[in-house]
Structure 1
Amino acid sequence: MQTLRSSSASPFGRKIKLALSVLGLADKVKVDLANTLDPEDNLRAQNPLGKIPCLILEDGNVLYDSRVITEYLDYMAGGEKLFPAGAERFDVLTQQALADGICDAAIQIVYESRMRPEEKRHQDWVDYQQLKIDRALTAFESNPLPQVQHNSPNAAQIALACSLGYLDLRFGGEWRNSYPKLVAWLEDFASSVPAFDKTRPE
């Protein structure tokens, strides 16, 4: 059986758990919790970057990061489930990258407060990351992704849902005050994809 190294709160790990569920592959992968800050965790031997998620295949090979793993799961499921064929594929890849960028910036903000002593924190850096988030949310608000049909989200829809879920988790859902179309989109996603609530961080 394959093994997913992740954590409960990781939005990128949640992406993979969601993909496994919607592709019907959840019973083929076990989840092994990882602690990225623990030097004794063998995560750093599995992924030299020490980052999650990573997927350990049955032959011992390891895949990382979440975008690579998502592509692999789509391949395992027969292809063109999470990523469409043709030119539309590049739209989904670009939208996925934008959604993932929200998480990248949000994690930078979280780490700034978690990893640095208060006197060494840089508000300019935090503001810089927040502006990335704001611009990405504005782009999605102006051009919303399609609603999910029949519990079959694509990779971009999964990534956006997990990004918004992470903003809810770490920042109290403040984004909801400014992006009503995204709020409605996420509510529809959650009702259309039951695994979204099932993978909600503890």
Structure 2
Amino acid sequence: MMKLRSSPPSPFGRKIKLAMEALGLRDRIMIEEANTADPSDSLRSQNPLGKIPALILDDGEVLFDSSVILEYLDWLAGGNKLFPSGEVRFAALRDQTLADGIMDAAILRVYEKRFKEPQFRDPDWDAYQAAKMERGLAYFEANLPPVPASTTDITASSLTLACALGYLDMRFGDGWRQNYPKQAAWVDAFEAAVPYFSETKQPPALVPDDAHAPLR
């Protein structure tokens, strides 16, 4: 059986879990929690970067980076389910990458406050990452993917955006919703259509000093 190394709060791991559900692959992949901060965790030998998610295949080969794993799972399920075929595929890949970038920037902002004492934090660095998030969210506010009709109707771009917005809810509170009402309504509709999105939701664990504050 394949094994997914991840952590419940990870939005990148959540992407893969949603894809497993949408593609009917949950019974073929066991989820095993990983601790990226623990040097003794076998994750570092499975993925030299020590990052999650990582997918251990039946033959022991390991795939890492959520976008790579998503491509593999789509192929395993027959192809062209999460990703459209033809020229429109590249727009889907672009939007997935942008939503991934929002998550990356958000996580870097979390780490800045989690791992540094207040006197060592760099407000310019935080503002730089926040600006990336703002630009990405502004793009999606004007270019939202369709709300899926059901779990089996989700795409790589829609599930990645949903995970990005879910991560903002968990780490930054609801301030972003005030600035991006279309996305707030979109992710609520996504959750209503995709029950497994609710099942993978984590309770709020807000970034210190940023709780319920708008991103901008």
CA contact (8 A) 1:54 1:64 kept: yes
- Answer yes or no: is the 8 Å Cα contact 1:141–1:181 preserved in 2: yes
Give the CA deviation at 1:51.
Answer: 0.1
Q: Which amino acid aligns with 1:172?
A: G
Q: Deviations over 1:56-91 (max 9, x none)?
A: 001000001000000000001100000010011101
- Structure 1: where are the runs of 5+ without partners? none
* Separation in 1, partners of 2:135, 2:192: 26
Verify the 8 A CA contact 1:19 1:70 in the aligned structure 2: yes
Contact 1:22–1:195 (CA<8 Å) still a contact in 2?
no
C-alpha displacement at 1:150, in angstroms?
3.4
Secondary structure in structure 1 of the residue aligned to 2:32: strand
What's the counterpart of residue 132 of structure 1?
A: 132
Aligned to 2:118: 118
**Equivalent residue, structure 1, for 2:32:** 32
Q: Which moves more between the two structures, 56-65 or 113-122? A: 113-122
- The Cα shift of 1:149 comes to 2.6
Q: TM-score scaled by structure 2?
A: 0.92
Q: For structure 2, which runs of at least 5 residues remain unmatched after alignment?
A: 204-216
Q: Per-residue displacement from partner, 1:145-176 (whole Å, max 9, x unpaired)?
A: 11213331100000000000000000112110
1:116, CA displacement in angstroms? 1.3
Counterpart of 2:146 in 1: which secondary structure?
Answer: coil
With normalisation by structure 1, the TM-score equals 0.98
- Aligned mates of 2:61, 2:200 — CA distance in 1: 26
In the alignment of these two chains, the number of paired residues is 202
* More deviation, 32-41/111-120: 111-120
Q: Percent identity?
A: 55
1:26 Cα deviation from its structure 2 partner: 0.5
Residue 189 of structure 1 and its aligned partner are, at CA, apart by 0.6
Matched, 1:182 2:183: yes
Whole-Å separation in 1 of the counterparts to 2:61 and 2:174: 38
1:93-104 → structure 2 map (5 Å cutoff): 93-104=93-104
Question: Aligned pair 1:68/2:68, yes or no?
Answer: yes
Q: 2:213: which partner in 1?
A: none
Rounded Cα–Cα distance in structure 2 between residues aligned with 1:39 and 1:113: 21
Q: Judge which range, 57-66 or 150-159, deviates more.
A: 150-159
Counterparts of 1:198 and 1:175 in 2: how far apart (Å)?
Answer: 22
User: What does 1:5-20 align with in structure 2 at a 5 Å threshold?
Assistant: 5-20=5-20
